[in-house]
């Protein structure tokens, strides 16, 4: 017995000493001591890469930077073949800082500013767990949306002033080209902003067809939008969305806090097939005190095929040319069923291809009808592989009970997150506010929306962007909607728009379920408050609606609410201040018996129109 214990003890010591060279204690690294010196003006890309690679081998370590400015140039960026969702395909991608296969790594900027020069993602995180990024500012030396002020205008022309140092340009043969790192970039759209309120006043306008140099920094242009008044700002859109500001892929427990993003080459923060994500006091906006209404060039926070829990708390997304938040999956149109348990499919949109982690063994997949968006079957993944960046092959654990056809699409039900979005401010953005497409619990509370289009869009799509996800538990409460819906914008038929793209409603079949809109404040100058299509279980309860004269009414819908093909609808205990332009609820294909309306309601059901 004693001999047996002796040999066990000896074996244990041998194992410990054998593992000893691989076991390195976590540590905190001072950036200056590691050679990361701020405010030198020099390119520090290679130096950062070296430190990050060393820390990746030390589980649970921290890099603490000295405050100041650090510069990164695209020429020394890390290169990878990556496909970033909802982003123009660029190969290879560039990363100023790339974190791969790390565990427990923290970067504490202590207020440091990372300035990018050229086209790249500032930070990439792949295959990592327990990553924290905090106290950082991310900026671009040359923003990829430019800005000009309209000082005079005629019927078909405008005189603009533009800072040639901030926004270099050239005019050759009457064509205005913005210059990015010496490369020419054509203006393909313009947006208008009020310089005082910073509100986006309209959607995309046309590009600039002709330009003439009047003096340095002063141009006469033709083809741009006519502004409401001189002195307003034109944001010039002239670049593809080539790289997300930060790209988090196939990673878990990633936390970003006390961080500002002042510029990007595309989406702000893109999370793809990642899990358990926290954003705390993250601001995606033009650099404060810069006098700019442009900065990050597309969405603020974008989540594609993520899972676990998403928490967005005390964040700001301001003056972005696209939606502040988008949470969705990706539908794959079916090409063919090659055997009982095997399907061929493809990524439907050119900006969604190449998602190598779209599914994993054990994931539950729903087969949906692309016209009705309703599920017609489910199965579990056995294997998933990319045939090429566009096409995939999926093998399932068992044969399908019914044939799967090219008129259908596949949706991953496992890679769907819950989300809490609270205490945030979303303002002066083009397009919409929050887009939400996930079947798990979503809470949107204590936020303020100052949005050009719909403040909240609950969509559904298997034919355009292929952004999947019927909702089944959404609570929208204690939010303020401040004069949203000020200009024509796609999918914006109400301040809150539940607007799936469904070609054919099915009697007794409903796409979205259980949406509660409670105790919110709506400041409105126009008619549409709520648009709801294809919902089973919809409550609009104890909300306050305040009529304003912020702008002239313009919307094509003439009712306060439009509730189409819904059931189990409750509109109760709401309060109105002022005189609404319409108090009627239109309800096509929704029987009166399915709408509960209290006797003292400020709203009334619109008489049904005979077919």
Query: Where does the pLDDT of residue 199 fall: very low under 50, low under 70, confident under 90, or very high at 90 and above?
Result: very high
Report d(CA 589, CA 358) in Å as an integer.
36
The tens digit of pLDDT for each residue in 291-314 reads 999 999 999 999 999 999 999 999
Q: Per-residue pLDDT tens for 487-501?
A: 999 999 999 999 999
Give pLDDT tens digits for 267-293.
Answer: 999 999 999 999 999 999 999 999 999
Chain centroid to Cα 111, Å, comes to: 25
> Where do the H-state alpha helices sit in 230-334?
none
Mean pLDDT, residues 429-455 taken together: 97
Mean of the pLDDT values across residues 87-99? 97
Q: How confident is the model at residue 609 (pLDDT cuts 50, 70, 90)?
A: low
Confidence category of residue 610, pLDDT binned at 50, 70, 90: low
Tell me what pLDDT residue 202 has.
79
463-482 confidence digits (pLDDT tens) = 999 998 999 999 999 999 99
Contact 330, 467 (CB under 8 A): yes
- For residue 344, the surrounding DSSP H or E stretch is strand 342-346
Res. 25 pLDDT band, cuts 50 70 90: low
Rg (CA), the chain: 26
Assessment of whether the complete model's pTM goes beyond 0.85: yes
Secondary structure class of 50 (helix, strand, coil): helix
Q: How far apart are the first and last CA of the chain?
A: 92
* Mean of pLDDT values over 392-405: 97
User: Is 50 exceeded by the pLDDT of residue 21?
Assistant: no
pLDDT higher than threshold 70 for residue 568: yes
Tell me the percentage of the chain whose pLDDT exceeds 70.
95
Please determine, for residue 10, whether its predicted confidence score (pLDDT) is greater than 60.
no
**pLDDT for 15:** 37
**Averaged pLDDT for residues 94-108:** 98
Q: What is the mean pLDDT of residues 25-36?
A: 92
Average pLDDT in the chain: 94
Reported as a pLDDT band with limits 50, 70 and 90, residue 448 is very high
Q: Nearest to residue 429, comparing CAs of 299, 528, 523?
A: 299
The band of 225, judged by pLDDT with boundaries at 50, 70 and 90, is confident
Mean pLDDT in residue range 347-359 = 97
- For residue 50, how far is the Cα from the chain centroid? 31
Residue in the structure block whose two tokens are 């189990």? 568
How confident is the model over 538-561, as pLDDT tens digits?
999 999 999 999 999 999 999 999
Q: Where are the alpha helices (DSSP H) in 176-221?
A: none
User: Is pLDDT of 167 > 90?
Assistant: yes
- Report whether pLDDT(397) > 50: yes
């Amino acid at each position: 017995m004693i001999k047996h214990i002796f040999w066990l003890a000896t074996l244990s010591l041998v194992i410990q000493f054998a593992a000893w060279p691989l076991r390195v204690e976590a540590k905190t690294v001072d950036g200056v001591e590691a050679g990361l010196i701020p405010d030198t003006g020099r390119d520090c890309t290679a130096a950062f890469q070296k430190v990050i690679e060393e820390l990746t081998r030390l589980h649970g370590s921290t890099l603490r930077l000295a405050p100041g400015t650090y510069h990164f140039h695209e020429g020394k960026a890390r290169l990878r073949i990556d496909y970033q969702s909802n982003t123009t395909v660029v190969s290879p991608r560039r990363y100023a800082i790339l974190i791969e296969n790390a565990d427990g790594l923290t970067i504490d900027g202590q207020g440091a500013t990372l300035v990018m020069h050229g086209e790249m993602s500032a930070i990439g995180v792949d295959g990592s767990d327990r990553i924290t990024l905090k106290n950082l500012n991310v900026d671009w030396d040359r923003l990829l949306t430019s800005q000009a002020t309209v000082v005079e205008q005629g019927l078909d022309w405008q005189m603009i002033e533009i800072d040639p140092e901030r926004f270099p340009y050239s005019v050759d043969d009457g064509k205005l080209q913005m210059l990015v790192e010496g490369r020419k970039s054509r203006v393909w759209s313009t947006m208008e902003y009020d310089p005082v309120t910073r509100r986006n006043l309209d959607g995309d306008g046309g590009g600039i067809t002709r330009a003439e140099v009047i003096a340095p920094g002063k141009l006469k242009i033709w083809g741009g939008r006519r502004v409401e008044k001189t002195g307003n700002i034109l944001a010039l859109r002239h670049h593809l969305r080539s790289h997300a500001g930060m790209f988090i892929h196939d990673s878990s427990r990633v936390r970003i806090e006390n961080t500002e993003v002042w510029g990007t080459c595309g989406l702000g923060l893109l999370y793809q097939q990642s899990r358990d994500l926290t954003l705390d006091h993250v601001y995606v906006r033009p650099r404060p005190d810069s006098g700019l209404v442009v900065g990050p060039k597309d969405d603020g926070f974008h989540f594609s095929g993520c899972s676990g829990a998403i928490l967005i708390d005390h964040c700001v997304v301001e003056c972005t040319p696209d939606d502040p938040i988008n949470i969705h999956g990706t539908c794959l149109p079916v090409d063919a069923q090659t055997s009982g348990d095997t399907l061929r499919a493809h990524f439907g949109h050119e900006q969604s291809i190449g998602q190598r982690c779209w599914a994993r063994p054990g994931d539950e997949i729903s087969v949906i009808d692309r016209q009705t968006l309703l599920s017609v079957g489910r199965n579990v993944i056995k294997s998933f592989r990319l045939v090429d960046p566009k096409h995939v092959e999926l093998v399932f654990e068992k044969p399908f009970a019914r044939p799967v056809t090219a008129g259908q699409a596949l949706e991953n039900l496992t890679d769907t997150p819950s989300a809490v979005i609270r205490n945030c401010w979303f303002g002066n953005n083009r397009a919409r506010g929050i887009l939400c497409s996930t079947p798990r619990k979503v809470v949107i509370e204590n936020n303020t929306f100052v949005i050009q289009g719909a403040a909240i869009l609950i969509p559904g799509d298997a034919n355009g962007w292929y952004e999947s996800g019927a909702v089944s538990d959404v609570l929208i409460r204690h939010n303020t909607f401040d004069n949203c819906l000020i200009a024509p914008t796609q999918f914006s038929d109400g301040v809150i728009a539940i607007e799936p793209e469904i070609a054919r409603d099915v009697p007794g079949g409903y796409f979205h379920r259980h949406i509660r809109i409670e105790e919110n404040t709506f400041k409105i100058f126009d008619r549409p408050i709520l648009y709801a299509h294809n919902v089973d279980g919809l409550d609009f309860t104890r909300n306050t609606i305040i009529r304003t004269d912020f702008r002239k009414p313009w919307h094509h819908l003439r009712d306060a609410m439009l509730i189409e093909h819904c059931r189990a609808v409750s509109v109760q205990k709401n309060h109105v201040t002022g005189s609404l332009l319409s108090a009627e609820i239109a309800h096509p294909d929704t029987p009166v018996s399915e709408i509960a309306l209290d006797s003292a309601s400020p709203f009334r059901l619109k008489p049904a129109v005979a077919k």
